[in-house]
Structure 1
Amino acid sequence: MRTECVSLAEIARRASVQRPAVSNWKRRHTDFPDPVEGAEGDLFDSAEIAAWLDGRRIPVNALRPGEQTGTTFGDRFRAAAVGADRVPARPQEPAPSRTWIADEIMEILWRVRDFADPSDHADLVLTLLCHRFVDPGGSDRLSEDLAGVSSVDAADLFRSAWIDGMPREVGLPLDPPLPRDRDRAGETIRAVVRVLDGAGDVLRWRADAVALYGEILERVLDSEGHRGGEFYTPRSLVHLMVDLVEPSAKDRILDPSCGTGGLLAAAADRAVPAGGREEAAPPRATGQALGERARYLAAMNLLLHGHLADVRIGALEALDHGPRSDDRYDVVITNPPFNLALGGRDGGGAHLPYGPTRNAVFAWLQHAVAVLSARGRAAVLTPRGATFRTQRAERSIRTAMVENGVIDCVIDLPPNLFASTAIPVSLWILRRGGSATDGLLLIDASRLGEARSRTVRKLGDDDLRKITETYRGWRGGRFEGERGFARRADLEMIRAHDHSLSPRLYVGSDVVPIDTASAEDGVLRHWDDLQRLRVCAARIDDELGKRLWGEA
């Protein structure tokens, strides 16, 4: 059966969009159907148009009464056709993907920016997601109760559902994080619930809920940039750090600056024995947060992972004043904030084993050693400059750590692993009970990974495997050096290099590291500025496109 031909204006009418939006689709998308040959004017096969529009879901805020989440412009186009048999029906589609759900939720947050702080509504969105998985019955009742109530009442309904459904032992606040404007909060709740109602089986299993929470959280923190003072740790780095310290079910685990809980949750996941969560006591995990928001996000993250961890505020207090006498941990894993000034003129942290310091990087490194048990091991991310800077105080602490045998391995990682900063980082593996005469392992992994975008690099599975197997070979006495990548450095060799721990000095790389801290800091600041400008430019371009072309 031959289908009808339609003009751009008719496409716009049936899809209920403005005429310029259709012109914009045609101009910007190379897969937009071609005009029908021989037709008079710019006419298109309606079946081809409907099939193309099937690939464009209608944003939640643009849905009309009766349209469900996941409805496409193709569905709307067919419904508006005169005679249902004139346009073939849309083929059955799979349930919405996790990425689509995340896209829809980020679109909701994008609209909030005109009248409120998006971070307030972002925390509400993440809380709704946590509630949907942890208390599915209460979430279903909330979805039903939202019908026919005002936005203010919607906010109150969610507050009641949260209070009734959350386990108190988690330590989350009794009240959910509702923005002050309850009317706007209610609108956000309605929009997010509609998206989650259309998610199908995407949130049925814990792994799916965890992945969606992580994806939305990563996008939110990327959009906020440096405001939180802590960087979201990329998943590839999380996997690497956990693989290197290998938490077990008997270990006490600490993240002394737990951020949003990703590292702590991954370490606790690894510590669960193969038999499953029900067959053994839960991992003993503790997180220390910089502030209330970080504590809240971390506690929800761990709850979704199935862990009732002890997450508390007080990361900086512990760094300044030291742990309680019984606070010793078998595994410490952390990506702490880099740029903090501590204490007064002489620095803070009287408990630190190798001397007080105003440099937060060397305070975190020492703090990790100070809280380790006799068999403990730690993985700490730092800026790369910490391995070689020559300032007297920093070099003195690094020297003492080498001479006391607490550094097991230093790994230079590729630049641009973090979406929010271009600062290149190093991973320090620390251990109690070692000896300086054992030497230490130095790995230059700075050339590994692949570009995920112009500004972000990612370590692949093969890269992670290479680093992990090299380290495990070192620990197991099976290490063989690889020129340009890894080498054992003995104490005399390190002393000859004035206790610099830059792997490139030792592994035979042709690249000579820059030892001038001020030069490096200046370059990194400019990289950060350029990256922030790129993000701003992309947002402006997107907003201009929406306003000029009216694309839905």
Structure 2
Amino acid sequence: MPQKKKTAAKGLEASLWDAATTLRSTMEPGEYKHIVLGLIFLKYVSDVFAVRHEELQRLVNDSQSDYFMPSPEAKQSVVEDRDEYTAQGVFWIPEGHRWEELRRQAKAKDKPIGVRINEAMAAIERENESLKGVLPKNYARQEVTSEMLGGLVDIFSREDLAAAEHVDLDVLGRVYEYFLGNFASGEGKRGGQYYTPRSVVALMVEMLEPYHGRVYDPACGSGGMFVQADKFVRAHGGTRNDISVFGQESVATTWRLAKMNLALRGIDANLGNEWGDSFHNDKHPDLRADFVIANPPFNDDDWRGERLRKDARWQYGTPPVGNANFAWMQHMLHHLSPVGTMATVLSNISLSSKQGGEGEIRKTLLEADLVECIVALPPQLFFGTPIPSCLWFLTKDKTGRKSRKRKGEVLFIDARRLGQMVSRRVKEFSKEDVALIADTYHAWRGTRDSEYADVPGFCAMASLTEIESRGHVLTPGRYVGSEEVEQDDEPVADKIARLTLEIRGGFKARAELQDEIVSGLDSLVVTE
């Protein structure tokens, strides 16, 4: 039964996507994305408001309720009391700007629907401090036609979506995430700048296990890391109040997407008062997080590192101006608590490069015994980039935690053979893949009942002495070796004789087939 529910939900998301894309016309996907996602957000906050509105209406109509009032006017004042909504974490939606009102007026001639939506977005921002400067207000542009907007309003007002919301209001959060992923896929490399594929995020979260504490992402994109962390906590019996979320994003439009994405999920996140560059405008200078999780830009050569040569964050070596990989890593370590653990996606060049002092930084990190695990990822996981990538897990507490102490050791996992193609260009991990990698990591750490054992071709533990002997290169393939193959007991002479017969038989069959084809051609009669 749960599988059927999942299939139905995915079918709804795909159906909504297909309907929405037919209205895009010639608009660029990157532009259309903000139009569509803004409307999904508006629909969601209006629907949550409507649920609370109906709840208050029932209360004031109940003569036994504390809300019972002597007059209809008094009752209505309770239903429209702003505090009755905000106290429950519900955004206040001013009258005249709610979804149903917009839907009824979508085709009215007195005012274009784009103007009405802009006014609704502006009104919601005025009434809700946390949304100021977040919502898109570009619906009245010439290229955003009334037909397009009216069609989108109709799509997001569909009865099947309303029925799904009646069962689970979070369905619009899933729709938002589904649309985000599809837009990112369509934008290729640009999409990868604001969206990390869900299966990669799921793997990182399952390995980190952020049950409670402060979670930080200095390159948070559209907020997917936080959404997955929230899912993890709730799946293990916790509540979203068990974690505190801190993030930062340098691109204004992406920062707004993240704010909406997290608001849809009911996640109270501190993403700073506005967007900003984590290197040059750190929004959380005093933060020391229990978990750091990030997918920063690969091999960024435009991070203006020449301005930060003497920065206090570079405790393990000054990163090169031409590549920000080890700048990101040290920025994360700077914000990591003394008992914290971090995970980051980096390009594979970080595992072996010696340019610009990167080899020395890697050596220093290893000698400080901060590196815990390296996972080699398969190709085609990320949108629009063929760059091979890996996961780094680092911790400042290898010897102090309750799990098995792994002082002076590093776990290597080669996951390049895992994952399945879900389109012609994109691969993703299955749940079984995620479980295999995460369980291996936790068994090695001693946080699982199962015992860890090296598996040739997949995982291996190496000491810092062995890593030093390999020049402090951390490419997993160098440590896990080759996959074991089944023993072949057939004598070599017998194998040669058997294969010779098979090959000769193939040649004979091909010759016979060729003779048949030639004979058939000769028998053809051409008539004038």
Q: TM-score if structure 1 supplies the norm length?
A: 0.69
Q: Structure 1 residues 174, 218: CA separation in 2 closer, same or farther (over 3 Å shift)?
A: closer
2:33 to 122, 129, 137: 122
User: In structure 1, how many angstroms separate the alpha carbons of the residues matched to 2:106 and 2:382?
Assistant: 39
1:283 to 243, 262, 266: 243
| Range 396-405 or range 225-234, more displaced | 225-234
What is the identity, as a one-letter code, of the residue corresponding to 2:368?
Answer: N
Does the residue aligned with 2:293 lie in a helix, a strand or coil? strand
Which residue in the other structure is 1:84 paired with?
Answer: none
Is the contact between residue 377 and residue 391 of structure 2 (CA under 8 Å) also seen in structure 1?
Answer: yes
Which residue in the other structure is 2:495 paired with?
Answer: none
Once the two structures are TM-superposed, the CA of residue 189 in structure 1 deviates from its matched residue by 2.1
User: In structure 2, how many angstroms separate the alpha carbons of the residues matched to 1:248 and 1:480?
Assistant: 26
Which residue in the other structure is 1:363 paired with?
Answer: 327
User: In structure 2, how many angstroms separate the alpha carbons of the residues matched to 1:415 and 1:216?
Assistant: 23
Which residue in the other structure is 2:439 paired with?
Answer: 469
Once the two structures are TM-superposed, the CA of residue 355 in structure 1 deviates from its matched residue by 2.2
Which residue in the other structure is 1:380 paired with?
Answer: 344
Does the residue aligned with 1:489 lie in a helix, a strand or coil? strand
Q: Structure 1 residues 391, 225: CA separation in 2 closer, same or farther (over 3 Å shift)?
A: same
Does the residue aligned with 1:184 lie in a helix, a strand or coil? coil
| Range 392-401 or range 251-260, more displaced | 392-401
Is the contact between residue 411 and residue 459 of structure 2 (CA under 8 Å) also seen in structure 1?
Answer: yes
Q: Structure 1 residues 395, 238: CA separation in 2 closer, same or farther (over 3 Å shift)?
A: same
User: In structure 1, how many angstroms separate the alpha carbons of the residues matched to 2:459 and 2:179?
Assistant: 36
Q: 1:228-247, aligned counterparts within 5 Å? A: 230=193, 232-247=195-210
What is the identity, as a one-letter code, of the residue corresponding to 1:489?
Answer: A
Once the two structures are TM-superposed, the CA of residue 409 in structure 1 deviates from its matched residue by 0.4
1:225 to 185, 188, 211: 188
Is the contact between residue 170 and residue 309 of structure 1 (CA under 8 Å) also seen in structure 2?
Answer: no
Q: 1:155-194, aligned counterparts within 5 Å? A: 155-165=114-124, 168-173=128-133, 176-179=136-139, 181=141, 184=144, 186-194=146-154
Q: Whose Rg is larger? A: 2
Is the contact between residue 253 and residue 284 of structure 1 (CA under 8 Å) also seen in structure 2?
Answer: yes
Is the contact between residue 215 and residue 289 of structure 2 (CA under 8 Å) also seen in structure 1?
Answer: yes
User: In structure 2, how many angstroms separate the alpha carbons of the residues matched to 1:183 and 1:440?
Assistant: 55
Q: 1:281-430, aligned counterparts within 5 Å? A: 281=241, 283-312=243-272, 317-320=277-280, 326-341=286-301, 342-343=303-304, 345=306, 348=309, 350=311, 351-357=313-319, 358=321, 359-430=323-394
Is the contact between residue 253 and residue 268 of structure 1 (CA under 8 Å) also seen in structure 2?
Answer: no
Q: Structure 1 residues 481, 130: CA separation in 2 closer, same or farther (over 3 Å shift)?
A: same
What is the identity, as a one-letter code, of the residue corresponding to 2:205?
Answer: V
User: In structure 1, how many angstroms separate the alpha carbons of the residues matched to 2:330 and 2:456?
Assistant: 31
Post-superposition Cα deviations, 1:2-58, rounded to whole Å, max 9, x if no partner, equal: xxxxxxxxxxxxxxxxxxxxxxxxxxxxxxxxxxxxxxxxxxxxxxxxxxxxxxxxx
User: In structure 2, how many angstroms separate the alpha carbons of the residues matched to 1:266 and 1:496?
Assistant: 38
Which residue in the other structure is 1:485 paired with?
Answer: 458
What is the identity, as a one-letter code, of the residue corresponding to 2:13?
Answer: R
User: In structure 2, how many angstroms separate the alpha carbons of the residues matched to 1:176 and 1:308?
Assistant: 20
Q: Structure 1 residues 175, 464: CA separation in 2 closer, same or farther (over 3 Å shift)?
A: closer
Which residue in the other structure is 2:83 paired with?
Answer: none
What is the identity, as a one-letter code, of the residue corresponding to 2:318?
Answer: P
User: In structure 1, how many angstroms separate the alpha carbons of the residues matched to 2:294 and 2:412?
Assistant: 20
Does the residue aligned with 1:254 lie in a helix, a strand or coil? strand
Unaligned runs of 5+ in 2: 1-7, 51-97, 400-405, 485-528
What is the identity, as a one-letter code, of the residue corresponding to 1:157?
Answer: R
What is the identity, as a one-letter code, of the residue corresponding to 1:130?
Answer: F
User: In structure 2, how many angstroms separate the alpha carbons of the residues matched to 1:217 and 1:242?
Assistant: 19
Once the two structures are TM-superposed, the CA of residue 437 in structure 1 deviates from its matched residue by 3.9
User: In structure 2, how many angstroms separate the alpha carbons of the residues matched to 1:409 and 1:420?
Assistant: 26
1:139 to 93, 99, 102: 99
User: In structure 2, how many angstroms separate the alpha carbons of the residues matched to 1:449 and 1:228?
Assistant: 21
- Tell me the percent identity: 29
Which residue in the other structure is 1:440 paired with?
Answer: 410
Once the two structures are TM-superposed, the CA of residue 323 in structure 1 deviates from its matched residue by 7.0
Which residue in the other structure is 1:215 paired with?
Answer: 178
Is the contact between residue 412 and residue 443 of structure 1 (CA under 8 Å) also seen in structure 2?
Answer: yes
Is the contact between residue 133 and residue 203 of structure 1 (CA under 8 Å) also seen in structure 2?
Answer: no
What is the identity, as a one-letter code, of the residue corresponding to 2:443?
Answer: G
Is the contact between residue 248 and residue 283 of structure 2 (CA under 8 Å) also seen in structure 1?
Answer: no
Does the residue aligned with 1:382 lie in a helix, a strand or coil? strand
Once the two structures are TM-superposed, the CA of residue 169 in structure 1 deviates from its matched residue by 4.4
Q: Structure 1 residues 321, 112: CA separation in 2 closer, same or farther (over 3 Å shift)?
A: closer
2:215 to 235, 253, 267: 253
Unaligned runs of 5+ in 1: 1-92, 512-552
Q: TM-score if structure 2 supplies the norm length?
A: 0.72
What is the identity, as a one-letter code, of the residue corresponding to 1:439?
Answer: E
Q: What is the RMSD of the two structures over their aligned residues, measured on CA atoms?
A: 2.9
Is the contact between residue 252 and residue 330 of structure 1 (CA under 8 Å) also seen in structure 2?
Answer: yes
User: In structure 2, how many angstroms separate the alpha carbons of the residues matched to 1:95 and 1:333?
Assistant: 27
Post-superposition Cα deviations, 1:96-151, rounded to whole Å, max 9, x if no partner, equal: 72211111112222x042xxx4423320210110111121242112101223236x
Once the two structures are TM-superposed, the CA of residue 487 in structure 1 deviates from its matched residue by 0.9
Is the contact between residue 139 and residue 161 of structure 1 (CA under 8 Å) also seen in structure 2?
Answer: no
Which residue in the other structure is 1:105 paired with?
Answer: 20
Once the two structures are TM-superposed, the CA of residue 284 in structure 1 deviates from its matched residue by 1.2
Once the two structures are TM-superposed, the CA of residue 300 in structure 1 deviates from its matched residue by 0.8
What is the identity, as a one-letter code, of the residue corresponding to 1:356?
Answer: T
Is the contact between residue 192 and residue 383 of structure 2 (CA under 8 Å) also seen in structure 1?
Answer: no
Which residue in the other structure is 1:153 paired with?
Answer: 112
What is the identity, as a one-letter code, of the residue corresponding to 1:139?
Answer: W
Is the contact between residue 387 and residue 500 of structure 1 (CA under 8 Å) also seen in structure 2?
Answer: yes
Q: Structure 1 residues 323, 366: CA separation in 2 closer, same or farther (over 3 Å shift)?
A: farther
Which residue in the other structure is 2:56 paired with?
Answer: none
Once the two structures are TM-superposed, the CA of residue 268 in structure 1 deviates from its matched residue by 3.0
Q: Structure 1 residues 465, 94: CA separation in 2 closer, same or farther (over 3 Å shift)?
A: closer
What is the identity, as a one-letter code, of the residue corresponding to 2:432?
Answer: D
Is the contact between residue 272 and residue 283 of structure 2 (CA under 8 Å) also seen in structure 1?
Answer: no
Post-superposition Cα deviations, 1:489-530, rounded to whole Å, max 9, x if no partner, equal: 10110000100000000011379xxxxxxxxxxxxxxxxxxx
User: In structure 1, how many angstroms separate the alpha carbons of the residues matched to 2:283 and 2:43?
Assistant: 37
Q: 1:37-48, aligned counterparts within 5 Å? A: none
Once the two structures are TM-superposed, the CA of residue 227 in structure 1 deviates from its matched residue by 3.3
Q: Structure 1 residues 175, 485: CA separation in 2 closer, same or farther (over 3 Å shift)?
A: closer
Post-superposition Cα deviations, 1:168-227, rounded to whole Å, max 9, x if no partner, equal: 243342653315615725443212101112252244424421221112111212222233
